[in-house]
C-alpha cells in the first residue's frame, strides 16, 4: 500500500514487560500494511529482536519516517527528545495512566494508527528547551527537554537559593525547594502541580514556576520563548538539575544553568479530530457543558 511512512520505529516502555505484547501486535499490524518495522535497542532487549531490524537512536533518526511511542508520557518524552534533532515525527499510544501527550488510547490504536498510515492526521509542532551547565567558565553538561528544566535541592533538609537572569538582566533571587522552567507541553506536568498556568501548545512562551518558595510574592511568570534564562545556584545542599525529570546532574554552588529554546522542534501526529481541550477535559476532569447550556448559551 502507499503510505508516507515506509519505515516506522517502535519504542516501548522497556521497563514494563506488559508493553511487549502490545509492541509485537503493533509491529505485526505495520508489517501487514507493508511497513518496514524498526526497533530501538532497549525495546528489543525487553521483547526480543524477533525478525525486526534493531537500530541505535542515531540510526533510527536517519532512517525512520515515523516513530511510535508505546507507553506513558515518560516514554513519549524520551522518544521525542531523542528524535527531535532528526525531525522524525512521533505518535503516542497510551499504555500508561495519565497520557497528556500519548493521546491514542490503547483500546483504539488500530483504527487510529491505520488512519495516520493512510496519510490522514493532524500535525503539531512542540518546542523544546536546550540547557547547559557552566562551571568556572566551562560547559560540563548539556541536555534537551520537552517538558521542563527543574533546578532543585536533592537534600531532605534546607532550601536552595537561586538567582535568575533573563537576557542578561537580573530578575530575582529566590529561596525555596526549587524552580521549574516549563514549555507549553510541560505546563501540564510538574509545573501544574506547583500551581503554574496551563499554556496552550501553540503559544511561543515559557513559564517559570517556583516550588514552595519561602516568600509568597515569588509567583509563576510567563515569558516569551525567545529569551535566554540563566539560573545561578547561590546556596543550598546537594543541588541538582533535571530535564523532563528523566536525566539529571548534580550541581555545585556557583554553577550557572543556561536555558533557551532549542533550534528545532518535535512534531506530534494525531488522528483526525484530535482536540487539545478534549484532552484537558478528560485528564483534569473538567465538567462538560450541560446540553441545556449548549442550546441556550447561558443558564436561566
Looking at the structure, tell me whether residues 16 and 117 fall in a common domain: yes
Q: What is the pTM of this model?
A: 0.91
pLDDT, average across residues 90-119: 91
Catalytic residue among 73, 225, 255, 256: 73
Cα separation, 110 vs 88, in Å, equals 21
Looking at the structure, tell me whether residues 170 and 103 fall in a common domain: no
48 versus 193: which is more confidently predicted? 193
Helical packing angle, 109-117 and 19-32, nearest 10°: 40
Mean pLDDT of the chain: 91
Looking at the structure, tell me whether residues 278 and 216 fall in a common domain: no
Alpha helices (H) in 33-163, listed in sequence order: 41-47, 57-63, 73-83, 109-117
For residue 238, what is the domain's CATH number? Answer: 2.60.200.30
Nearest 5°: the CA angle 157, 159, 156 is: 25
Looking at the structure, tell me whether residues 56 and 106 fall in a common domain: yes
Q: pLDDT-based confidence at 17, cuts 50/70/90?
A: low
pLDDT, average across residues 267-287: 91
Q: pLDDT-based confidence at 299, cuts 50/70/90?
A: very low
Structural domain contains residue 211: yes
164 versus 300: which is more confidently predicted? 164
| Residues in CB range of 287: below 8 A, 6 or more apart | none
Structural domain contains residue 196: yes
Looking at the structure, tell me whether residues 139 and 32 fall in a common domain: no
For the cut 90, the answer to whether the pLDDT of residue 159 exceeds it is yes
Could you identify the residue written with the cell 556557583? Answer: 254
216 versus 47: which is more confidently predicted? 216
pLDDT, average across residues 140-150: 98
User: What's the total number of domains in the chain?
Assistant: 2
Structural domain contains residue 61: yes
Predicted local distance difference test score (pLDDT) of residue 154: 84
Structural domain contains residue 161: yes
Looking at the structure, tell me whether residues 77 and 162 fall in a common domain: no
Predicted local distance difference test score (pLDDT) of residue 290: 66
Predicted local distance difference test score (pLDDT) of residue 133: 98
Structural domain contains residue 69: yes
Cα separation, 268 vs 67, in Å, equals 10
Predicted local distance difference test score (pLDDT) of residue 298: 47
Q: Which domain holds residue 210?
A: 129-262
Predicted local distance difference test score (pLDDT) of residue 1: 58
Structural domain contains residue 2: no
Looking at the structure, tell me whether residues 277 and 225 fall in a common domain: no
Please confirm, yes or no, whether 73 is among the known catalytic residues. yes
Structural domain contains residue 289: no
292 versus 169: which is more confidently predicted? 169
Predicted local distance difference test score (pLDDT) of residue 300: 42
Burial class (CB in 10 A: 0-12, 13-18, 19+), 151: buried
Amino acid at each position: 500500500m502507499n503510505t508516507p511512512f515506509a519505515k516506522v520505529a517502535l519504542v516501548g516502555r522497556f521497563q514494563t514487560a506488559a508493553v511487549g505484547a502490545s509492541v509485537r501486535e503493533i509491529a505485526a499490524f505495520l508489517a501487514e500494511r507493508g511497513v518496514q518495522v524498526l526497533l530501538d535497542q532497549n525495546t528489543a532487549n525487553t521483547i526480543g529482536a524477533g525478525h525486526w531490524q534493531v537500530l541505535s537512536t542515531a540510526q533510527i533518526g536517519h532512517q525512520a519516517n515515523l516513530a511510535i511511542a508505546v507507553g506513558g508520557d515518560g516514554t513519549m518524552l524520551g522518544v521525542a527528545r531523542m528524535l527531535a534533532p532528526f525531525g522524525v515525527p512521533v505518535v503516542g499510544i497510551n499504555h500508561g495512566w495519565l497520557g497528556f501527550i500519548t493521546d491514542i488510547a490503547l483500546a483504539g490504536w488500530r483504527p487510529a494508527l491505520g488512519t495516520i498510515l493512510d496519510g490522514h492526521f493532524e500535525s503539531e509542532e512542540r518546542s523544546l528547551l536546550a540547557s547547559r551547565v557552566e562551571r568556572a567558565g566551562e560547559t560540563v553538561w548539556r541536555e534537551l527537554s520537552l517538558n521542563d528544566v527543574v533546578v532543585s535541592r536533592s537534600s531532605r533538609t534546607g532550601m536552595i537559593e537561586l538567582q535568575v537572569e533573563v537576557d542578561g538582566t537580573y530578575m530575582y533571587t529566590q529561596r525555596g525547594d526549587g524552580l521549574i522552567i516549563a514549555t507549553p507541553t510541560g505546563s501540564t506536568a510538574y509545573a501544574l502541580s506547583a500551581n503554574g498556568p496551563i499554556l496552550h501548545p501553540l503559544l511561543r512562551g515559557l513559564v517559570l514556576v517556583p516550588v514552595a518558595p519561602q516568600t509568597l510574592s515569588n509567583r509563576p511568570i510567563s515569558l516569551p520563548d525567545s529569551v535566554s534564562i540563566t539560573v545561578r545556584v547561590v546556596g543550598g545542599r546537594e543541588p541538582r538539575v533535571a530535564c523532563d525529570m528523566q536525566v539529571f546532574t548534580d550541581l555545585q554552588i556557583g554553577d550557572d544553568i543556561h536555558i533557551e529554546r532549542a533550534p528545532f522542534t518535535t512534531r506530534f501526529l494525531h488522528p483526525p479530530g484530535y482536540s487539545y481541550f478534549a484532552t484537558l477535559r478528560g485528564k483534569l476532569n473538567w465538567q462538560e457543558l450541560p446540553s441545556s447550556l449548549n442550546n441556550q448559551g447561558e443558564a436561566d
